[in-house]
Amino acid sequence: MAVSAAMVKELRERTGLGMMECKKALKESDGDIDLAIENLRKASGLKAAKKAGRTAADGVVAAKVAEDDSYGVVLEINSETDFVARDAGFLAFVDKVLNKAFDGKTASIEALLDEALETERQELVQKIGENIGIRRVQLVEASAGIVGAYVHSNNRIAVLVELKDGNSEVAKDVAMHVAASNPQVVHPEDMPAEALEKEKEVIKAQPDMEGKPAEIVEKMMGGRIKKFLKENSLVEQPFVKNPEVTVGKLVKDAGADVASVVRFEVGEGIEKKEEDFAAEVAAQVAASKA
């Protein structure tokens, strides 16, 4: 697979390594960026790369919580460009969809997108000239506590947090922290076994492990896995507004516990084809002369 300049740029941004090193790693991984990062970590002890991959799709996320904090909904609606994501007509459509999902406590696109809403979506597509899609919606109901929300000011990250007991102020603080730090799990014990095994493989392959007795490797690995879990578990992370306390302590001091977290970021997991407009124009000119 050919390694493009865009791929090298992304790998450099995610790792902070040099261009030639990134290009070599991509060639060895046949263009697989995540595999290249894993191989680089094994070979050089590179720290974990930035979590956010390419989020090329545009649009907005939105969230709404009931006045009594008993439930909330969060959704993502995509457009092709950030220009349309700021369009008044597009944002009005987002509000309408959000209110419909909220009023109906809707937990699926299938239940949300009726004929009338689909007709309105298609009319908006015709008017604006870009594809618009309701990508996902999620409902969170508090079984024995409250739900809090935080939406980042640019409408690109939205979080719902369910607390057991507690209050809305703490729930919003935790949601804001999640928006900023994007933890993998709530509690260390929630970390999937697959993720732990992958991290252990990376640790074992790092240069400072080479030639050490098995018992020393296991001891070192235990410490690094503990650090990995602390860095990636919500309740173990230093609270963004006061790093002197962990999120877990913040919540515990409020007489609560974190039950669940939902975090939506615009375009995460979607890759949008990058158009080379100069090449496209050149091709059109060449075709017109043929």
Residue 282 is predicted with a pLDDT of: 59
Task: Check: pTM over 0.85? Answer yes or no.
Answer: no
pLDDT of residue 52: 32
Pairing of strands 238-239, 242-246: antiparallel
Cβ atoms of 232 and 142 within 8 Å: the answer is no
> CA–CA separation, 118 vs 114, rounded Å?
6
**Cβ distance 149 to 72 under 8 Å?**
yes
d(CA 263, CA 159): 4
Cβ–Cβ < 8 Å for 184, 195: yes
Counting as low any pLDDT under 70, the low residues of the chain are 16, 44-56, 271-290
- Would you say the C-alpha torsion 217, 218, 222, 228 has a positive or negative sign? positive
Determine the Cα–Cα distance for residues 156 and 135; give it in Å rounded to an integer.
14
Quote the CA–CA distance of 53 and 10 in Å, as a whole number: 8
**What domains, with CATH codes, occur in the chain?**
1-54 (1.10.8.10), 58-179+257-265 (3.30.479.20)
Q: What pLDDT, on the 0 to 100 scale, is given for residue 219?
A: 85
pLDDT at 55: 33
Pairing of strands 157-164, 257-265: antiparallel
Residue 279, pLDDT score: 58
What crossing angle do the helices spanning 214-232 and 193-204 adopt, rounded to 10°?
A: 130
